[in-house]
Amino acid sequence: MPPMKKSKKGKRKAKDSGKLKVAKFRGAPPLLPPELRGLDTEWWYAFLYKHAESGHGAPSDEGEAFRYFFRTSRRTFDYICSIVREDLISRPPSGLINIEGRLLSVEKQVAIAMRRLASGDSQVSVGAAFGVGQSTVSQVTWRFIESMEERARHHLVWPDQEKIEEVKATLEAAYGLPNCCGAVDATHIIMTLPSVESSEDWFDPAKNYSMFLQGIVDDEMRFIDIVTGWPGSMTFSRLLKCSEFFKLCEAGKRLDGPVKVLAENAEIREFIAGDSCYPLLPWLMTPYEGKNLSAPILNFNARQKAARMLGTKALARLKGSWRILHKVMWRPDKNKLPSIILVCCLLHNILIDCKDDLLSSVQLPDNHDTGYSEESCDQVDPNGKVMREVITAHLQSSEAPN
C-alpha cells in the first residue's frame, strides 16, 4: 500500500545522585509555580492527584513533573495548544463532557492526547487518569492528530539552502565530512492485526506485523523528511527507492546544493550518511565493508558511522519519548497509523525547535529496532564509489601532518 500524503513539598533533585527524587503527594498537590499557571490548570491538579493516590511517583519539581508526563515544558505545551486551539474549539465533538458535566477545555484535550502518545498506555488507562471514558480518549486523540497533521507541518520540512549550509558546516566541524547534510535510518512500528487483515505484506523478517518509518535527520536529530505507510516486510533499500525523497534526489531536485571542489579538482556533492543496508549512491554514502581494511578506509568508516548514528539516535529518541510507537500497536487502522507516526515526528521536532530537553529519567531504548537482524545492500553506483574514495582521500590528506 502506498504511503499517505498526507501538602508536603517533595524533596529537590539530589545533587550527588543525578536522579530525580520521587514525591508522593498527600492531600492536595502543592501550588503550581507561575510558569505552570496557564488558561486551565484544574485538569493538572486532578491528574497529578490521581497519580499520587495511585502510588505512581512524579518528580518533586513540578516543572519536571509536567515534562515527565507530557514530554514538554508548560511553555511548549501552551504553544502546541495554540496550534490546535482553533480546530478544537470550532468543531466541538459530541460527548466530550467529563464526569463533572463540563465540556473539556482545549488544554485538557491536548493533555489527554499527548499523554496517550507519550505513555502508549491503553485508552482505558489514560481515560481513568483524566476522569473520562475510553471513547472520549479516542475522539480527543484523533482530533488532536488531525489538527496537528494539518497545522504543524511547518515543523517538518526540507531546509532551505541557507539552513542546509549551517547543517553542513556543523557536521563537517564535528565529523570532518564535507557537504554532509544529515543521516538516514528506518524503524519498524509493530502492530497486532485482526486475522482478517493479516497478510504476508505486513509480516516482516522478525515475524512481526509492522509498518516502516524512514527518517532523514539533520545535525540536531530533527526530522527533515519522513516516509511511512509501507509494510515492514520490505527491505530498507526498497523502502528508500519507494520514497519521494529518492525520486527527488535522482532527479537532481534534492541534495542539489553547491558542489565542494577540492584542491585536486575532485568534487564532493551534497550527501547523507546511511548504513550498509542502503545502496551506495552519489548522494548517499555508506561504509566500506570487508576485512583487513586500510587505515584511511577505517578512518572514513568511523567518521561516517558517527554521522549516520544521528538517524539511529533520533529514532531511539522518537520511540522513547512517544512510546505509543515503541509498544505494540493494538489493531491500528492502517490508514490512520501514518498520521499518528507523522504527529509523533512533529512533536519530536517541536521539542527540538523549542529547545526542550528530555528529562534524564525518560529512558530511551538502546536499539529502536530490537529483534531485527542487520541487512546488507550490494548495490554500488559507480559515481557513488568514486565520491566515497574522494572523501576518503580528502580525510587522509586533511589529517596528514604539514
- pLDDT above 80 (res 67): yes
Please give the DSSP secondary-structure letter assigned to residue 223: E
The set of cell numbers assigned to 120 is 502508549
Give the model confidence (pLDDT) of 248-296 as tens digits. Answer: 999 999 999 999 998 778 899 999 999 999 999 999 999 999 999 999 9
CA 15 to chain centre: 30
The Cα–Cα gap between 191 and 325 comes to 9
Cα 58 to chain centroid, rounded: 24
* Alpha-carbon dihedral 392, 395, 398, 401, rounded to 10 degrees: -90
Instruction: Say how far apart CA 376 and CA 22 lie, in whole Å.
Output: 45
Q: List the chain domain ranges.
A: 22-151, 157-399
At 104 the three-state DSSP class reads coil
Kindly provide the b/e burial profile for residues 221-239, where b requires at least 16 CB atoms within 10 angstroms of the residue's own CB. Answer: bbbbbbbbbbbbbbbbbeb
63: CB partners within 8 A, 6+ apart: 33, 35, 36, 73, 74
Furthest C-alpha separation in the chain: 77
Instruction: Spell out the alpha helix ranges (H) of 180-281.
Output: 236-242, 244-250
Angle between helices 62-70 and 74-90 (to 10 degrees): 50
Q: What is the pLDDT of residues 9-27, one digit of tens each?
A: 443 333 333 333 333 333 3
Q: Which residues contact 31 (CB under 8 A, 6 or more apart)?
A: none
Backbone phi, then psi, for 41, in 5-degree steps? -120, -5
| CB-based contact 273:304 (threshold 8 Å) | yes
pLDDT tens string 168-218: 999 999 999 999 999 999 999 999 888 666 678 899 999 999 999 999 999
From residue 201, give the alpha-carbon distance in Å to each of 77, 82, 357, 387: 38, 40, 38, 36
| Stated pTM of the model | 0.87
Contact 140, 113 (CB under 8 A): yes
User: 215 — phi, psi (to 5°)?
Assistant: -130, 140
Which pLDDT belongs to residue 27?
Answer: 35
